[in-house]
Amino acid sequence: MKLACDVGNCFKDGFACSQIVLSAFSTEFGLDRETALKVSAAFGGGMGGLGENCGAVSGALMAIGLKYGNSKAKDYQAKEKTYRLSKEFVKQFKALNGSITCNELLNCDISTPEGYQYAKENLFIKICPKLVNDAVQIVGQIL
């Protein structure tokens, strides 16, 4: 999968992991890049800067949902497929990185002002590009 921008440059431009991953797949499944960037923006920094679920993981799960998610309430087959592929994604991501939690992946509590500042200066550019690339590669294989 070719990303809309170089991962390092995307981070330097101010985009979050969630935005980079979702926008890599969005147009392929009928969602324009600008909308993908907006809808995934709140998931960066482990869900709005809380350090929880990694933004790359959130963006990947959104991409899986774009392709396979159910749009009818009782489409249980689509829902089950989406959940199965989501679990497979998480299994592979954890195997490569040990966790899907932002604070654990960065070994830093980014929910605090001090932790966020440290991560911004030292970790986001060093660690997050690998996580984004891993997420994009895994989703590319799953889709």
The pTM for the full model equals: 0.93
Fill in the amino acid letter for 55.
Answer: G
DSSP symbol at 42: G
Q: How confident is the model at residue 41 (pLDDT cuts 50, 70, 90)?
A: very high
Amino acid found at 133: N
Q: How many CB atoms lie within 10 A of CB 78?
A: 15
Report the SS3 class of residue 51.
coil
pLDDT at 85: 98
Instruction: Let me know: does 21 contact 135? Beta carbons within 8 Å.
Output: yes
Predicted confidence band at 95 (pLDDT cuts at 50, 70, 90)?
very high
3-30 confidence digits (pLDDT tens): 555 666 777 778 999 999 999 999 999 9
Encoded tokens for 122: 């030292």
Phi/psi of residue 53, nearest 5 degrees: -60, 125
Average pLDDT value over all residues in the chain: 93
- What would the pLDDT profile of 96-116 be if each residue is shown by its tens digit? 999 999 999 999 999 999 999
83: Cβ–Cβ under 8 A, 6 or more apart, which residues? none
84: Cβ contacts below 8 Å, ≥ 6 apart: none
68: pLDDT confidence band, cut at 50, 70 and 90? Answer: very high
Residues paired with residue 101 on neighbouring β-strands, in sequence order: 53
Structure-token pair, residue 132: 């984004």
